[in-house]
Amino acid sequence: MAEHDPLHEVLREIGLLTGIVQGIKDNQETESKRASASRNLLYSKIEDAAGLAAKAAQSAEAAKASADLAHAKIDNDVMPTVLEYRRWKFAGRTWRGFASFAGVSIIGFFWWAWDVISAKLGV
């Protein structure tokens, strides 16, 4: 039977523990590198998203400015013309109505006068 050497046994255990610690250390370095790469990728995606958000904000601001300009053009140039057209259209209809009523009244008067004259003259 082989002799049992406690020092050899302790050295063997220390070697096993050293190997385990080295493996843990290697895994930790690998995981740290992987986490660092993942974190860098995440930060780059966040920066890209921030850039896109800034571009979208600029586009929204430009669209708002364009819409405000179009609204001002409509209010200042188009609507007065439309409102003036509506006023003249209403005035035209009103005067056309007055003229029609006057024409009908004149025709009615001549009709009545013809009847009166015809009755007096016996025609």
* pLDDT tens column, 68-116: 998 888 888 888 888 888 888 888 888 888 889 999 999 999 999 999 9
Single pTM value for the model: 0.40
122 Rama sector, left if φ>0, alpha if ψ -120 to 50, beta otherwise: left
Q: Which residues contact 117 (CB under 8 A, 6 or more apart)?
A: 123
d(CA 68, CA 87): 27
CA count, 13 A, side-chain hemisphere, 4: 1
